[in-house]
Amino acid sequence: MDGRDLPRPPRRVPADAGTLTQLQTTTPRTPDLPPRQPWVYGRFLAGFLVVLLIIAAGATAGWLFRAESLRINTGQVLESIGHGVVRVLATTCEGSGEASGVLLENGIVLTAASAVKTPLSIVIVTPDNQIRQANLLGTSADGVAVLRMIGQLEDEPIPLATADPDPKSELAQIGYTAAGQQRIQPVGTTERPRALSEVMNAAKLGGPVVDKYGQVVGLVAGDTVQAATIIGLAKLRAYTAPKPVGLTVEVGGKCARSRGPQSPVVPELQVASTPLAVEAQRMLGDYLTLENRHDFTALQAVYSKYRKKSMSPTRDRDSHQTSYFFDPKITGVSAYGADGAYARMTFNVLFSPDVKGAGGLNCRRFDQRYRLVREGGKLVMDGVEMVLPGQVCD
């Protein structure tokens, strides 16, 4: 047996070594990483996001500012230029006799031609009830009438805009109701217009379309509300130029009978609304409505038996065949007899300057007292007396 076959001696364990109870392995050592460098791309991305937020905030603020700049404050506009939007009343052979209008420089008034076809007399009435005669200078094919006011007014005229409005800018139309109340209504924008039928009545035809600055940028014209359109600024400037373009010169009417507006008349009650006063208001309103409609036969129903003897349909027709009564106000009501009344009323009458007794005038203001009696259970007109002599309207 050689030395290769001898058993190996046991491995010497140091005296201070612990007891090996399980197989132990060594853990590999991870090498140290180099220090982390700044994240340049992240810093760039964060800065880019901040810039985007700033731009977005600026764009939003700009959009809000632009949107606000295009809005119209209708209350402020009406307060600043309402004085220059007038009622146009006429007694005509063919026209409706009623429209709105706008007072421009040099006494020029624009309105709807449908109201003043073949007129015998025209007046304009301001919001504070000043009345001025007006003459028709001409009409356009698209329905605009150009009038010249006679006399002066202290109020400033309304300017025509120098340029068309922004297509997104809000606009409004100013006009009158049949009861003579001035109103302003938004009509959308040039880009997105509102249907005129939503805001119009016949008395508003001829009213101006204005921008947020109170400048005229258009005029509503048409024979009816359904046919109403907005005539643009360029055409209005042509019609009002020193040498007008697009106007046809018009002559006055020559009919023997002319009429004004046909809407019902309700006198303004300036006394306490007692049952007697309200009944007198209703009776006098019926009287004026029938006079304006020239229904002289029906008028007999509002007269007493006594008055019918002196005011026949023929006499009524001869006296009022070109008349239009407007702006009535009942200023006094008192009892008469057992169940009658005295009613004092002021009103204006528009008529042809060529009728007998007109003396070339076309409008007078009257102050009269009516004696009302009861027949068949209702008040009827028994007599009329003048309180003050008739005055020229303007």
Cα–Cα dist 389/366, whole Å: 7
Q: Apex CA 254: angle with CA 251 and CA 258, to 5°? A: 110
Which residue is listed with tokens 């008739």?
A: 390
- In sequence order, which residues have a C-beta less than 8 Å from that of residue 91 and are 6 or more positions away? 97, 119, 120, 121, 258, 259, 260, 322, 323, 324, 350, 351, 352
Q: Which two tokens stand for residue 294?
A: 């020239």
Query: How many CB atoms sit inside 10 A of residue 168's CB?
Result: 13
- According to CATH, the topology of domain 74-249 is Thrombin, subunit H (2.40.10)
Element (H, E) at 49: helix 40-70
Question: What pLDDT does residue 65 have?
Answer: 44
Q: What is the DSSP string of 257-282?
A: --B---S----EE-S---HHHHHHHH
Question: What pLDDT does residue 23 have?
Answer: 43
**Residue 284 DSSP symbol:** H
- Phi/psi of residue 314, each to 5°? -65, -45
The dihedral sign for the CA sequence 146, 360, 350, 126: positive
Residue type for 113, please?
Answer: A
- In sequence order, which residues have a C-beta less than 8 Å from that of residue 97 and are 6 or more positions away? 89, 90, 91, 115, 116, 259, 260, 261, 262, 324
Question: What pLDDT does residue 6 have?
Answer: 54
CATH code 1.10.287.110 for 268-392: no
Predicted model pTM: 0.81
3-state helix, strand, coil in the chain (%, to 5): 25, 30, 40
Listed by start position, the domains of the chain span 74-249, 268-392
Q: Which two tokens stand for residue 55?
A: 């731009």
Question: What pLDDT does residue 64 have?
Answer: 45
Cα–Cα dist 283/58, whole Å: 66
Q: What is the pLDDT along the chain (394 residues), one digit of tens a residue?
A: 454 555 555 555 555 555 544 444 555 555 555 665 555 566 666 666 666 666 655 545 454 444 567 899 999 999 999 999 999 999 999 999 999 999 999 999 999 999 999 999 999 999 999 999 999 999 999 999 999 999 989 888 999 999 999 999 999 999 999 889 999 999 999 999 999 989 999 999 999 999 999 999 999 999 999 999 999 999 999 999 999 999 999 888 889 899 999 999 999 999 999 999 999 999 999 999 999 999 999 999 999 999 999 999 999 999 999 999 999 999 999 999 989 999 999 999 999 998 888 888 999 999 999 999 999 999 999 999 999 999 999 8
Please return the burial class of 232, using the count of CB atoms within 10 Å of its CB with bins 0-12, 13-18 and 19+: middle
Q: Which residues pair with 332 in a beta bridge?
A: 344
User: Is the CB of residue 394 less than 8 Å from the CB of residue 153?
Assistant: no
